[in-house]
Chains A and B, each alone.
Chain A
Amino acid sequence: KYKQSSLLAFFNAK
């Protein structure tokens, strides 16, 4: 029912 999101969608990789 729910899909797990990734942190990479929110924070920028250096």
Chain B
Amino acid sequence: MLEGKFEEASLLKKVIESIKDSVKLCNFNCSQSKGITVQAIDDSRVLLIALKIDSGSFQEFRCDRDLVLGLDLESLSKILKQGNNEDYLTIIAEDSPDSLLVVFEDKKKDRISEFSLKLMDIDSDVLTIDDMEHDCSITMPAYEFAKIARDMKTLSESLQIIITKDSVKFNAEGQIGSGSIILKPHTDMEKPDESIKIELNQPVVLTFGAKYLNDIVKATALSSTVTIKLTDKAPALFEYRLPSGYLRYYLAPKFDD
């Protein structure tokens, strides 16, 4: 049996809102040691999502036996919208479940709402992702990266990221013209999450689909910072930290035709 209680429903709501436009169906793997893990790849095989909600993200977590919950995220999203952000949220499943029970508890009122979501058998490709060495890593405010991704998409369907020791440059060239945004590393002592940190083994220039970057920044509400790890001619890793766990996106680059 699985029983996981979140202190606030908002965490799972935000996680599902972050991924449901990229993948519609996915398996939630549940175990006592790892909590909930998900690996899902979008239909175009360009964007991969790796989610880990550790048991530490729950107020209470028990999973007697390893379970796989096949979920339609659009349907789960509909059910999660029934609860308030501040409600306790408990998810419950039997050992061989055909449905997931979702329970909201209002902390102030005596109101408990229960929903049952039908589960599905989902065949999914699982990819092996080895721990990669990266040429460089940038940590920056999540909202700032989101603004760049959204703004630059209006200029071009591709966004180039150029990292050097002294700066990170976002470059877009489109039909109406071109634009670039240059950020330099700095440390904000009072608000550390406002800092921009660059770690560099070697400079990197990579180009990504603006559409996919805009899917990724849907996770902005989850974390105040985003870490972007880039390697020449390889998929990029975008990581949003959860209170205990992470949401990672792996995005395949575009190449000069």
Contact = CB atoms under 8 A, between A and B. Distances in A.
B127 A2 contact: no
Contact of B250 (A3, A7, A12): A7
B254 A13 contact: no
Interface string A1-14: 11111111111111
B234 interface: yes
Nearest to B126: A14
Interface string B228-257: 000000110000000000000010111111
Nearest to B132: A10
B207 interface: yes
B230 to A, nearest CB: 13
A2 B235 contact: no
Contacts of B234: 10
Interface in B181-231: 207, 209
B252 A14 contact: no
B46 A2 contact: no
Contacts of A1: 158, 256-257
Contacts of B255: 2-3, 5
B48 A11 contact: yes
Contacts of A6: 44-46, 252
Contact of A4 (B41, B46, B126, B127): B46
A14 to B, nearest CB: 5
Contacts of A14: 125-128
B129 interface: yes
Contact of A11 (B128, B158, B254): B128
14 contacts: A1-B158, A1-B257, A2-B158, A2-B257, A4-B46, A4-B254, A6-B44, A7-B41, A7-B250, A9-B252, A11-B235, A12-B127, A13-B128, A14-B127
Shortest beta-carbon contacts, A-B, top 3: A2-B254, A11-B127, A3-B257
